[in-house]
Structure 1
Amino acid sequence: MAIASSIPLVFSVQRCKPELVAPTKPTPHEHKLLSDIDDQAALRFQVPFIQFYEYNPSMQGKDPAEVIREALANALVFYYPFAGRLREGPNGKLIVDCTGEGVMFIKVDADVTLEQFGNALHPPFPCFDELLYDVPDSERMLNCPLLLIQVTRLKCGSFIFAIRFNHVICDGIGLKQFMSTISEMARGATSCFISPIWERHLLDAGDPPRVIFYHHEYDEVEPTAISWPLDNLVQRSFFFGPVEVSTLRSLIPLHLCHCTTKFELLTACLWRCRTIALNLNPNEKVRMLCTGNLRSKFNPSLPLGYYGNVIVFPAAITTVRNLLHNPLGYTVELVKQAKASMTKEYAKSVAALMVLRAKQLNFTKIVGSFVVSDLTKIGFEDIDFGWGKVVFAGAAKAVGVISFFVSTKSTKGEVGTSVPICLPAPAMERFEKELDMLKGHLLGF
């Protein structure tokens, strides 16, 4: 489990004043309801993504910031809800007011080259605040732009595209669909290859709403449980290549080896090491929540182009004592069981729970919850604004208790998976030591 640590890097930027980019044509002014899956407290946060593009001689003379800005304005004609603002309706229901005001866009020039970021790009990125400027008051849920986009032009001709999106409006697949449309229009398209579909009612609870599963991810945790601290947090990224994955696989029973995915294996390992690092009470309950895309579970299928949240967070739950005193195979089994519960019926049950319990349930601030989301198969690396495919694409960092699996390369050029982890500083030290001990144990040290 090689630790990918950020390289020191200092650079200065010239930042244009943030502007609002509106659709190039008039769009409907209407109110659109979010689904009962979209509209939950656990999704009321912002997620930053980042993409690095190399200099392309064939695009000499073209400004990537202007090309993307124009394509964005054209794409918003079709994805006009993104140009609106969230309002709060009766009973706290979130509504998109399609005002056409636009999304926030920033152009930046940085006196740094792509090469200076290193040959193994991975989150967290040095000087990230310069690569995606946190415009004051832009993270509020209501009455704010739903997207913040920054294009940073590097002095070598390469550029960085960064975007922060409000999770209630879409999931990772929905975001990729929107970004693909921007890239298509940057390359000359005048319409969407896949037309966006709203129809959020398809993910609403039934009438009457019926909760038919236990949803431990939304358990009301007792006040004695440790809350997520607001300061002294540290970000690190951990790389798992073929050697690390193979080594970890040797720790689980033979009957699990051939039916356990890399995601399940790494999630089990990270959950266990993270729990050790947190020094929780042995009797405390801990949860692992894995994000699951349910698009393939619907029959009849959801309309092609649906870009709302089609995700659930089924939880594996156990005590600290059970997690730490059992072999890794025990943890793998818990992860597999949680993944197996992902069905259309499960999503409807979640929606019902949100309706019946006023959408206030939130697992993202509880230290004993570990949330993982696999972005390696969504296809962000294929997004091409005309300069070719990305050098790196994915989540820019962990967001509190939420970690994202992203595709990366090691300094040796090995293709693998990086997982950014966010922990209080003392816990991060213990986490790294635990991974080192595991590695040493496996190598027979």
Structure 2
Amino acid sequence: MAQTVTLMASPPQPVPETTITCQDQPEPKLDFKVKVHETTILPPIQQTEIRKCCFLSNLDQNFNFYVSNVHFFSGNPDFPIEEVVRRLKAAVQKVLVPYDFAAGRVRQNHQSSLLEIDCDGTGAGFVVASSEYSLDDIGDDLIYPHPGYKQLAPQKLDNLGLNDPPLNIFQVTSFKCGGFSLGVSTQHLLFDGIGAKMFYENIASQAFEDKPLAVVPCNDRYLLAARSPPRVEFPHPELRLPVAVLPLSESNNIHPVQEEEEELVSKLFKLSSNQINYLREKAKPPPSSTETSTKPPIKITSFNVVAALIWRCKALSTMDVENDNRVCTLLSAVDIRPRLNPPLPPSYCGNAVINAYASSKCIELEDKPFSEIVKIISDGVTRVRDEYIRSTIDWIEINKGVPNGDYFISSWWRLGLEQLVYPWGKPIYSLPVMSHVKYVCFLLPSHDHLNNNNGGVNVVVTLPVKEMDKFQSLFYDSFKN
């Protein structure tokens, strides 16, 4: 079982060393004692007249797995749980009309062997449940996206005996205190993070009963179709050939990131806005350095400096002194909606992300100044422009490739799920359901928004014990001048 430790980091001071203390967090509850009261399938409130199939782009095809997240709400006396359930059911059914593909089922096109969605209007899953706990009983665990939350956001409905799983499953779980959670499991083929947020925005708007859709979705996935003929114009080390191509019947519910069998430890690093500013100052090139006009300028963003810190700590935590030339590649998803020419509609709801990559030998990451590591991250993001994006899509068209990297950063940091407004209020916490895997790092909001401070980030890292000890030491040392 993974252990949980919260690392409390104080703001950096103008002194040689930044103080970081470590505080143990109790073992997270893995059994929320959930009792299921109702399980049903909700069809769209009105069926479309013409049944159709939804084309899935090459960027969609790589995401054949479910993503789960949980939103926690305080109790609202004006909205007892029965009213919350009634409104959410109605909202889901209304939203499934403009999102008709989200009410369908995944199929494999036997001619192309590609996945597509049969918009058959079957509907979404909806579960009503209760927990024996109150939110206070869960306490600080609420900020940590541990696997126990799978009970609050199931990815299948065993008791209905369905041959085809719904592409969306919602679960409302009430707690003894009057608070409740809304868990959502969604087939990643449908949405990327931004598309999912728009979907939730629309559900929140329809729960008011008298509001229009918050966002009118654009589901024209042919906007990201491969060119004919495909043209690969760049090298793509962030992609590789698949080990094997499984038929849909064998791969439908297989997450490409499987949980590890070895003993792992998970830790949550809290970085304040002051500490991120410290890293941004540290990332500035020395005054004597000059960049030629032909090189893209370094973008010292909050994400870039945090990603550089994580990349270096991860690479060096696994560095073998006998293999100093090993290369470590970091992947991070980049929203391509505004980067294409012409840009995609902002309301495009399919998967519109590709992976930026940063590669370097581990020994070089040990010796490079922090500013140079940030520049490698910055260059990787800057590389993602129209020509490169189209080349990526065409490479996948030819090779049916999959991501290729040593470590992936999954950022929920600025997604803004905690800002969604429902009739009963905003979520007090919104977070993904995390699997314990050693090659994925999660960036989450610090939840300082409760104190009007949105600048911080929670970094969730899972590694083997020995690697974590070294990662933690390197992380601390990064705040020393």
Report the TM-score, using the length of structure 2 for normalisation: 0.80
Q: Which of 98, 103, 128 is residue 78 of structure 1 equivalent to? A: 98
Query: Any residues of structure 2 matched to 1:386-425 within 5 Å, and which?
Result: 386-397=423-434, 400=437, 401-409=439-447, 415=454, 416-425=456-465
Q: Does structure 1 conserve the Cα–Cα contact (< 8 Å) formed by 2:227 and 2:394? A: yes
Query: Is the partner of 1:92 in helix, strand or coil?
Result: coil
Q: Distance in 1 between matches of 2:142 and 2:286?
A: 36
Q: Which of 358, 362, 366 is residue 403 of structure 2 equivalent to? A: 362
Q: Does structure 1 conserve the Cα–Cα contact (< 8 Å) formed by 2:69 and 2:431? A: yes
Q: Distance in 1 between matches of 2:25 and 2:423?
A: 29
* Alignment correspondent of 1:243: 274
Query: Any residues of structure 2 matched to 1:324-403 within 5 Å, and which?
Result: 324-357=366-399, 359-363=400-404, 369-397=406-434, 400=437, 401-403=439-441
Q: Which runs of 5 or more residues in structure 1 are unaligned?
A: none
Query: Is the partner of 2:143 in helix, strand or coil?
Result: coil
What is the total number of aligned residue pairs between the two structures?
A: 427
Q: Which of 61, 65, 68 is residue 45 of structure 1 equivalent to? A: 65
What is the root-mean-square deviation in Å for CA atoms of aligned residues? 3.0
Q: What is the CA distance between 1:6 and its match in structure 2? A: 5.2
Residue identity in the other structure for 2:261: D
Q: Distance in 2 between matches of 1:399 and 1:303?
A: 35
Q: Distance in 2 between matches of 1:242 and 1:306?
A: 31
Q: What is the CA distance between 1:412 and its match in structure 2? A: 11
1:70-128 CA deviation, whole Å, 9 max, x = no partner?
Answer: 21111112211111111111342111011212222221111222223336842224732
Residue identity in the other structure for 2:61: D
- CA separation of 1:399 and 1:147: change in aligned 2, threshold 3 A: farther
Q: Distance in 2 between matches of 1:35 and 1:412?
A: 39
Q: What is the CA distance between 1:134 and its match in structure 2? A: 4.5
Q: Does structure 2 conserve the Cα–Cα contact (< 8 Å) formed by 1:120 and 1:410? A: no
Q: What is the CA distance between 1:378 and its match in structure 2? A: 2.8
Residue identity in the other structure for 1:34: L
Q: Does 1:208 align with 2:229?
A: yes
1:383-440 CA deviation, whole Å, 9 max, x = no partner?
Answer: 222111121223333674333322123699564111222323443333223323434x
Report the TM-score, using the length of structure 1 for normalisation: 0.86
Q: What is the CA distance between 1:255 and its match in structure 2? A: 5.2
Q: Does 1:230 align with 2:264?
A: no
Q: Which of 47, 54, 75 is residue 26 of structure 1 equivalent to? A: 47
In percent, how many aligned pairs have the same letter? 25
Q: Distance in 1 between matches of 2:461 and 2:66?
A: 17
- CA separation of 1:300 and 1:72: change in aligned 2, threshold 3 A: same
Q: Which runs of 5 or more residues in structure 2 are unaligned?
A: 1-6, 9-21, 244-256, 288-296
Q: What is the CA distance between 1:180 and its match in structure 2? A: 0.8
* Alignment correspondent of 2:292: none
Q: Does structure 2 conserve the Cα–Cα contact (< 8 Å) formed by 1:123 and 1:395? A: no
Q: Distance in 2 between matches of 1:121 and 1:187?
A: 26
Q: Does 1:288 align with 2:330?
A: yes
Q: Distance in 1 between matches of 2:326 and 2:113?
A: 32
Q: Does structure 2 conserve the Cα–Cα contact (< 8 Å) formed by 1:122 and 1:237? A: no
Q: Distance in 2 between matches of 1:399 and 1:44?
A: 19
Q: Distance in 2 between matches of 1:271 and 1:304?
A: 30
